[in-house]
Amino acid sequence: MSTYFESYLTVGAFVALGAVLVLVMLGVAAVLRPSKPKMTKAEIYECGVDPVGTGWSQTYVRYFVFGLLFLIFDVEAVFVFPWAIAAEELGMFGLIAIILFTLTLVEGLVYAAKKGVLQWE
């Protein structure tokens, strides 16, 4: 078996362990805990008063523009990592390339800031 496959099998096993831990503990607890369902117990908790309206309500997600900005920078981060490992071998050429690449993206951030996207009203 290749080391590559072994590595990701380990990761997969650890992820599965997380799920198994939760399920086993809930299973054990299911034997011990009482179960007396009641309408009031299934009510949504809003500090004791009767809940207003339905559970899902409309809310203004102010930071969705940040989501767009994030997408751009996150992709950049993925591109920076390969350079970061080989920074020494790539030398001056790699450094100038990455500086230009970063500046192009920073320009986007500056543009967004100037447009007032980062300001909260």
Partner 1 sequence: MELLTDLMSNFWIALVLKLLVVALIIPLIGMVIGFAEMKLSAKMQARVGPYFAGGRWGWAQLIADGVKFFQKEDLIPRDADRPVFKVAPIVVMAGTVALFVVIPWGPGVIFRDLDIGIFYALAISSLTTVGVLMAGWASGNKYSLIGGLRAAGQLIAYELPLVFSAVAVVIMAGTMSMQGIVEAQVSAGYPFVLLQLVGFVVFMIAALAELSRIPFDLPIAESELVMGYLTEYSGFRFLFFFLAEFANMFSMSAIAVTLFLGGWHLPGIPADVLEFAGPLILIGKSFLLVFAMIWFRWTFPRVRQDQLQSLAWKWLIPISLANVILTGVFKVVL
Q: Among residue numbers 29 through 58, which ones bind partner 1 (CB under 8 A)?
A: 29-30, 32-36, 39, 41-47, 51, 53-57
Q: Under rule CB under 8 A, which residues in 92-111 are in contact with partner 1? A: 92, 94-95, 98-99, 102, 106, 109
Distance (Å, whole) CA 115 – CA 112: 5
Rule CB under 8 A: choose which of 49, 50, 75, 81 binds partner 1. Answer: 81
DSSP string spanning the chain?
--HHHHHHHHHHHHHHHHHHHHHHHHHHHHHHS-----TGGGSPPSTTSPPPS-S------TTHHHHHHHHHHHHHHHHHHHHHHTHHHHHHHHHHHHHHHHHHHHHHHHHHHHTTTTS--
Q: Under rule CB under 8 A, which residues in 57-76 are in contact with partner 1? A: 57, 59, 61-63, 66-67, 69-70, 73-74
Q: Is 50 or 59 the residue whose CB approaches partner 1 more closely?
A: 59
Output the smallest distance, CB 50 to partner 1, in A: 13
Q: Is 35 or 50 the residue whose CB approaches partner 1 more closely?
A: 35
Rule CB under 8 A: choose which of 75, 107, 111, 113 binds partner 1. Answer: 113
Is-contact 66 92, C-beta < 8 A? no
Rule CB under 8 A: choose which of 49, 50, 85, 114 binds partner 1. Answer: 85
- Asked if 2 touches partner 1 (CB under 8 A), the answer is no
